[in-house]
Structure 1
């Protein structure tokens, strides 16, 4: 038994791109209690990603539900957290990014509980590198990633509208008739699901095979720039695409004319092309053309049936929303906790008469102003895109955000900041920032990138 106490806390991007290769095969499995054939689990939808509660050896944690990984990963615990993991063996793993192999611990015979589903012999790979931590850029704690071994044992319905996950015992699952649904055959390679679909660029149609990756928040990744990149006129911009297990991922961002999945079609879709340096750690199979990510998947209710090798889609309220890039050009992340003194003006003096726990009369007198003290996450600028509105306005990496459009930073969730920066071309943004103790404002206007 190993007492795991990592030394880091927060960190992640608006999307994850893990693509992990590991060896070995777990014989464990999730099961529902006897007599129960389905269960419903509430999840949080953050940056197009599904975050579910998972209990690991009695410890309540938060995991990303990811069809793009074939083994369970654990990371990003707080300094004061302690989690017992069992029967550990040192291993090395690799993932998407510009770095190399990563040291990890393979642990077997762990108890995982998701909703009412229990696996008493779950294998998990523990990543103890303090630099690998996917929480700050998500704005919520992410302690791990769970994928294939969960989807393998159930039929899983993800309702992105209601943020409800429904799991069914495959032995008793019967698909309901649905006129607005469409069911697709899916392929498997290394325990990962793939789908064949079509994309159209510059009036030319291509058939592609894409990894179905609910752990990637972008809409689409393609590995060949022939699918849509042009230099005359230039239809892309270079960008930091995100953070993978093996380091940062850089590449190009562009738009693709049409993405078709059966009878469903999307136009003017965001697409990213990771550079070859980021892909070198992946053993890409011959069939894979890229990734179908969360910004498309969230536009459906998705039913994954690994046993039958089927995926069923039904449009939801997100379906017709346009695809926008971050029009500010900055990425914001949590960076620790800071004390806040909030001042509330009262229109007049007042008092209240009550009793304390000793039944003595207490008079509370409220005066103007009223001060409230609390702790709040600190927001800092983590990335600035060259040539973006924020860059041209003079915003720098490391700047601390104090307010956005007059609203104190602590009244925002990180997700709300991303939504604001991707909301509407022409919207005015005023940032009040702190740079090395000097406070000032930066103004810019959101602008479509492409």
Structure 2
């Protein structure tokens, strides 16, 4: 099964607000600020499945890990147990609707919380708390994720994102005077707290469209297109059906394929792996925004970026990953992280598609992975497994798994499906 492109579709245009009230005659600070009035600060991050993950100090007490996601509005806590530990009382309860519009889930709003990321402090931040971990990110990433930082984290700064060196730098706009002469500039439209750009897509030999695309650092895929957003967007003949990602309403299903080309200013990327969710899944979003799709981390990681929300500009400069081929699973199976297994995290085959190398070799659903090409134990991670299974066509894969009480060995050769 193809490697999952983890896409977080939480809610439709949810904008939380909080009042700035006076306490003891003084105004409370509100929003994210760089400490000590510094002009800029640098924050290192982890990169997992093309997602930016930063260390967060929640309420000045609990260290957590948050995804930095331009595709959502506010700060989100996806594990309510941490707010319960601190006895944080919600200000109100609300219901969220998933992308398909068919499943409702419960969440809570806390109008004022404290969040610290490196030298940046968020004071009196409106926080959305999910009642349960509906997203189950640990299953798809192999590491525990506790929350998300969205538009609120970006809007007060000019933000440089350096994927290759795993660094973000935040500048106070009034002091930003760095010349960006080596960067290409793209007009970026901020609509309902989300950034959009208009760029050309070459869909086949004869069809090219100017598309409206949301910039989504919280999506691991390179590109997602909505077939029902334009009659010109059609599913390519060569495609694979699979689960494309996870949202609060459950799994997002569709197809994966490739498009010949996407242009970002003067930069051109070819044979781009593209997800096509089933028609209707994003119908409300398409109707309300007119967007044709999203650009995710699989494309963004190939550039050094500057986000200037205030002036609605995106600046980009290619890095050494620009020529890297867009990879896709070539085994025919999907692997997820599970709980404790002999006191260590373990990885299990969630699905195996028929008529694929993994299936024909004999691997099956619920097989527990012991080793992949000699890597086992702490040398094994979900990200490493997925990268190995999408390296190059013809590569030999050797796997050892536990099935019931048996230890079994298998081997097969990777095959490109799209």
Q: TM-score, normalised by structure 2?
A: 0.90
- The answer for the alignment partner of 1:367 in structure 2 is none
How many residue pairs match? The answer is 401
Higher relative contact order (CA 8 A, sep 6+): 2
Farther-moved stretch of structure 1 (55-64 vs 391-400): 391-400
Distance 1:19 1:176, change over 3 A: farther
* Of 431, 435, 439, the match for 2:407: 439
Tell me the CA shift for residue 333 of structure 1.
1.8
RMSD over equivalenced CA pairs, Å? 2.2
- Which residue matches 1:119? 122
Q: Report the more deviating stretch, 68-77 or 55-64.
A: 68-77
Partner of 1:100: 103
1:54: which partner in 2? Answer: 56
Corresponding position of 2:217? 214
Match for residue 89 of structure 1 among 92, 99, 118: 92
CA displacement, residues 222-241 of structure 1 (integer Å, 9 cap, x when unaligned): 1027556467xx32121110
Distance in 1, matches of 2:197 and 2:288, equals 14
Alpha carbons of 1:79 and 1:436: their partners in 2 closer, same or farther (altered >3 Å)?
A: farther
Q: Distance in 1 between matches of 2:310 and 2:49?
A: 29
Q: What's 2:192 paired with?
A: 190
Give 2:8's aligned residue. 17
Q: What SS is found at the alignment partner of 1:278? A: coil
User: How is 1:354-373 mapped onto 2 (pairs within 5 angstroms)?
Assistant: none
Match of 1:295 in 2: 298
Structure 2: distance between partners of 1:275 and 1:283 = 13
CA deviation vs aligned residue, 1:281-326 (integer Å, no higher than 9, x gap): 6464343010011100000011111011111001011111001111
Question: 1:89, CA displacement in angstroms?
Answer: 1.4
Aligned 8 A contact 1:198 1:205 in 2? yes
Choose 1 or 2 for highest CA Rg: 1
Please, what TM-score do these two structures have when normalized by structure 1? 0.84
Please name the residue that 1:334 is paired with: 337
Please, which runs of 5 or more residues in structure 1 have no aligned partner?
1-11, 340-374
CA contact (8 A) 2:16 2:74 kept: no
Q: Secondary structure at the match of 1:132?
A: coil
Deviation at 1:86, TM superposition (A): 4.2
Deviation at 1:122, TM superposition (A): 0.7
- Report what 1:169 is aligned to: 172
Match status 1:379 vs 2:342: no
User: What residue is the counterpart of 2:24 in the other structure?
Assistant: none
Structure 2 unaligned runs (5+)?
20-29
Are positions 1:200 and 2:202 aligned together?
yes
* Residue 385 (structure 1) shift: 3.3
Aligned equivalent of 2:26: none
Q: 1:9 aligns to what?
A: none
SS in 2 for 1:327: coil
Task: Please state which structure has a larger fraction of its residues in helix.
Answer: 2
Name which of 143, 146, 171 aligns with 1:143. Answer: 146
Instruction: Tell me the SS of whatever aligns to 1:391.
Output: helix
Q: What's the counterpart of residue 29 of structure 1?
A: 31
Change (3 A) 1:167 1:300: same
Worse-superposed segment, 303-312 or 427-436: 427-436
C-alpha contact (below 8 Å) 1:52/1:63 kept by paired residues: yes
**Do the aligned residues in 1 keep the contact of 2:56 with 2:115 (CA within 8 Å)?**
yes
